[in-house]
Amino acid sequence: MLNILTSKTNTIGQTKLNLLVIPVIGKTVLKSLEKSGFKDSLHHHLNFADLTDQAGSSVLFYPQDRKFTERILLVQLGKNKNTDASKTIFKAIGAHITKHATTGIVLPAGQEKILAPKILSNAFKDSFRFHEHRTKLEDADKHKLETLVLFSDKKIDNEIKEALVFGEALQTLKQLAHRPANKLTPTTLAEAAEKVGKENKFSVKSLNETDMAKLGMGGILSVSKGSDEEARMILMDYNPKAKKTIAIIGKGITFDSGGISIKPSKDMHEMKFDMIGGATVIAILQIASALKLPLHLVGIICASENLPSGKATKPGDIVKTYSGKTVEVLNTDAEGRMVLADGIAYAQKHYKPNFIIDIATLTGSVVGALGTKITGAFGNNSKNNKDFAKATQDCGEDTHFLPLYTGYSEEIKSSVADLANIGKGAGAIAAALFLYEFIDKKIPWLHLDIAGTAWDKDGPTGVMTHSIIHYLRTLPKR
Ligand code: BES
Ligand code: MN
Ligand code: ZN
């Protein structure tokens, strides 16, 4: 983990830095730096440097004396107060940040509390590489940043503490998500959850296939049938004495080949990421526990592989889910909803939650509709939908609510079972409606389809972690 230090701006010069990042507005140096020893050289560079007024414009220079810093990066914040200064600063720093061991960043006055966590979360994001299985690292792959010094005249200890909590939990999430299917199975995912639980004081147990067969969890078992790896229903429990119980249920498919309805081989390897919903649930419990949220959180991961074999579920098979409802499996690639159906039913029966959130890389259809930057959301309570949308906005994460349009409910009916596991079109909506069939209508519910946003070219993104925590924090008051 990164070493984070804070220091007053008048101490610049006392710590030896490899890089110092200084934001400027127009041609003026921040007030806090007016008294500093290097003010003159700053003014000089501001006058001559190729720094435009455009936010994000930057100049790197090497002070001749190299007294306390080898490099100074001037970053233009621009005069428009609405632009997000943290993004501007971080874009400008770009690759510079990982190249040096010690970097200092001056936080502009008035924005310290907002900027510090954002800068840190960006720094953590940048510091994460999945190198568990690299036996040799090129110089360019090496991450050199060890110490980040934030120069601030406001106290930002709490903000930093919190940013570290998020940083660590997101690291767990990304580490797990990156692991390919031969390194992460439902069993080892359960072990990973247990480890996080031990370190963060929440209890973790899991149901194995024998337990699930006894309970009649035909949904998750139908998905796992084709695989030699045992499925697990991972149950995490934080702060059971609190008044309000929130169940958070994640899709934990450690590999989704599609099963007998097999996927095309192009990009199939990415389906190792089909457990990111589950990993997000672990991260959320880890953060909730570190921040001592006054809620009872039940985290459930429906973990399984989805593979074809002589034992696999075949299209047309009918299975009985834990809720008692029967499902005709028309497409074995629509497996996420099958495992979640049992997770939802288990949560309702055993924990009586006041609120249910599920998070899943559920449909290719949501990627078609909203692309890779917007999470698809659904909910059965318009007030909660609104509040959650607000929470995501506050966190800078983009979501769009799609309709739980019951006009399509007919499409997921079957003539030979209670439900069919696919509809006829509007794939993301059909999947949400399918899940809705298992929700006790009295319980407010949010469904997040992160198929498009859970990972990008750099790997897992940790999407929705901040938003969910931010939203949960508002719940005890209501
Ligand atoms: N895990 C996939 C959804 C997915 C696709 C996630 C692309 C991320 C990127 C899910 O299990 C799936 O296969 N869904 C099918 C459902 C269909 C058969 C009704 C889909 O959306 O194509
Ligand atoms: Mn699938
Ligand atoms: Zn899947």
Spatial separation of the C-alpha atoms in residues 271 and 267, rounded to whole Å: 8
Q: For residue 261, which atom of ligand 1 is closest to its CA? A: 18
Containing 455, the helix (H) or strand (E) segment is strand 455-456
Other beta carbons within 10 Å of 222: 27
What value does the mean pLDDT take over residues 119-139?
82
Confidence (pLDDT) at 477? 67
Helix (H) or strand (E) holding 120: helix 112-127
Q: Across the chain, which distance is largest between two alpha carbons, in Å?
A: 82
CA 472 to CA 356: how far, in whole Å? 11
How far lies 465's CA from each of 45, 100, 160, 344, 381, in Å? 41, 29, 17, 20, 21
Q: Whose CA is nearest to atom 6 of ligand 1?
A: 451
Written as six digits, the tokens of 280 are 């997000």
**347 or 94, which is more confident:** 347
Closest CA to 289 of 204, 397, 360: 204
Q: Which residue has the tokens 């090496």?
A: 142
**Ligand whose nearest atom lies closest to the CA of 259:** 2
Atom of ligand 1 nearest to the CA of 263: 13
Per-residue model confidence as pLDDT tens digits over 371-415: 999 999 999 999 999 999 999 999 989 999 999 999 999 999 999
CA 472 to chain centre: 15
Mean pLDDT of the 51-61 span: 87
pLDDT at residue 3 tops 70: yes
Pocket test of ligand 1: the residue of 220, 333, 429 to mutate, having most ligand atoms within 8 Å of its CB, is 333
* Closest residue CA from atom 13 of ligand 1: 333
pLDDT for residue 65? 81
Kindly give the distance from the C-alpha atom of residue 452 to the centroid of ligand 3, in angstroms, as a whole number: 12
What pLDDT does residue 478 have? 59
Q: Which of 478, 450, 470 is nearest to 381 (CA)?
A: 478
From residue 420, alpha-carbon distances to 242, 335, 341 in Å are: 38, 12, 13
In total, the chain counts a number of residues equal to: 478
Domains 3-154 and 165-474 share a fold: no
Given this model, what pLDDT does residue 96 score?
Answer: 80
Distances (CA, A) of 312 to 207, 221, 233, 261: 21, 10, 19, 10
Going from N- to C-terminal start, the domains of the chain cover 3-154, 165-474
Q: Which of 75, 103, 102 is nearest to 87 (CA)?
A: 75
- List, for residues 361-383, the tens digit of each pLDDT value: 999 999 999 999 999 999 999 99
The answer to whether 116 touches 107, Cβ cutoff 8 Å, is yes
Ligand nearest to the Cα of 257, by number:
2
d(CA 221, CA 342): 9
Report d(CA 399, CA 453) in Å as an integer. 10
Please report which confidence band the pLDDT of residue 115 belongs to, taking 50, 70 and 90 as the band edges: confident
Task: Please state the φ and ψ torsions of residue 269, each to the nearest 5 degrees.
Answer: -55, -25
For residue range 316-352, list pLDDT tens digits in order: 999 999 999 999 999 999 999 999 999 999 999 999 9
Which CATH code, of 3.40.220.10, 3.40.50.720, 3.40.50.2300, 3.90.550.10, is assigned to 3-154?
3.40.220.10
For residue 363, the CA-to-ligand 1 centroid distance in Å is 4
Cα of first residue to Cα of last residue in the chain, in angstroms, is 36
Q: Which residue has the higher pLDDT, 46 or 386?
A: 386
286: part of which helix (H) or strand (E)? Answer: helix 276-290
**313 CA to middle of ligand 2, Å?**
13
Instruction: Specify the CATH number of the domain 165-474.
Output: 3.40.630.10
Q: Ligand 3 center to residue 126 CA distance, Å? A: 28
Torsion (CA) 4, 10, 13, 15 in degrees, nearest 10: -30
What is the pTM assigned to this prediction? 0.93
Q: CA 225, CA 104: separation in Å to the nearest integer? A: 54
Report the percentage of the chain scoring pLDDT > 70: 99
Residues with CB under 6 A from ligand 1: 256, 274, 331, 333-336, 361-365, 367, 422, 427, 451
Q: How many CB atoms lie within 10 A of CB 232?
A: 29
Average pLDDT, the chain: 93
pLDDT digits (tens, 9 = 90+) for 251-306: 999 999 999 999 999 999 999 999 999 999 999 999 999 999 999 999 999 999 99
**Which whole-number Å values give the CA distances from 223 to 253, 254, 269, 340, in the listed order?**
9, 12, 19, 11
Query: Which residues are known to be catalytic?
Result: 263, 337
Q: Kindly give the number of the ligand 1 atom that is closest to the alpha carbon of 336.
A: 11
Q: What sign for the dihedral angle of Cα 162, 167, 170, 171? A: negative
Taking the centre of ligand 1 as the mean of its atom positions, its distance from the CA of residue 263, in whole angstroms, is 9
Res. 32 pLDDT band, cuts 50 70 90: confident
380-407 CB burial, b ≥16 within 10 A, e <16 = beeebbebbbebbeebebbbeebebeee
Structural contact between residues 106 and 22, judged by C-beta atoms closer than 8 angstroms: yes
Q: Taking a C-beta distance cutoff of 8 angstroms, is the pair 73, 60 a contact?
A: yes
Q: Report how far ligand 2's centroid is from the alpha carbon of 98 (Å).
A: 37
Q: Whose CA is nearest to atom 17 of ligand 1?
A: 334
List, in sequence order, the alpha helices (H) in 310-396: 336-351, 364-370, 382-394
Q: Kind and range of the H or E element at 234? A: strand 232-238
Counting ligand 1 atoms within 8 A of each CB, the residue from 253, 254, 358, 362 with the most, and so the one to mutate, is 362
Average pLDDT over residues 131-144: 83
Q: Per-residue pLDDT for 2 more than 90?
A: no
Q: Quickly count: other Cβ atoms within 10 Å of residue 157's Cβ.
A: 9
Strand partners, 238: 297
Checking if the pLDDT of 199 tops 90, the result is yes
Sign (positive/negative) of CA torsion 167, 145, 373, 342?
Answer: negative
Q: Considering only CA atoms, which residue is closest to atom 14 of ligand 1? A: 363
**What's the number of CA atoms in the CB half-sphere (13 Å) around residue 173?**
32
With residue 141 as reference, give the H or E element that holds it: none
